[in-house]
Amino acid sequence: MNETTRPRLLLADDEPLYLQTTSQLLQKAGYLCTCVTDAEAAIAALRTQSFDLVLTDLNMPGNLKLELLRAGRQDWPKVPLIVVTGVPSLPTAIESVRLGIADYLIKPVKFEVLLQSVQRLLAEQRGSAVKDGSVGSQPLASASPIMPREPHAPVTGSREEALGSTDKNYFQTLLRQYHGNISKAALHAGLSRQTLHKLLKKHQISAADFRRPG
Out of 132, 151, 186, pick the residue that ends a domain.
Answer: 132
Kindly state whether residue 142 falls inside one of the protein's structural domains: no
Query: pTM here?
Result: 0.66
Q: Do 187 and 124 belong together in one domain?
A: no
Q: Do 128 and 163 belong together in one domain?
A: no
Kindly state whether residue 35 falls inside one of the protein's structural domains: yes
Q: Do 63 and 168 belong together in one domain?
A: no
Total domain count, the chain: 2
Q: Could you report the per-residue pLDDT of 131-174, keeping only the tens digit for each?
A: 555 444 333 333 333 344 433 333 333 445 445 545 677 778 77
pLDDT score at 124: 87
pLDDT score at 27: 95
Q: Do 43 and 92 belong together in one domain?
A: yes
Kindly state whether residue 137 falls inside one of the protein's structural domains: no
Residues contacting 79, CB < 8 A, separation 6+? 46, 51, 52, 53, 54, 72
Domain of 17 in residue numbering reads as: 8-132
Out of 115, 132, 149, pick the residue that ends a domain.
Answer: 132
Q: Do 33 and 126 belong together in one domain?
A: yes
Q: Where residue 109 sits, what CATH number does that domain have? A: 3.40.50.2300
Burial class (CB in 10 A: 0-12, 13-18, 19+), 28: exposed
Query: Span 46-52, mean pLDDT?
Result: 96
Q: Do 120 and 204 belong together in one domain?
A: no
Q: Could you report the per-residue pLDDT of 174-209, keeping only the tens digit for each?
A: 788 888 999 888 877 667 888 888 888 888 999 999
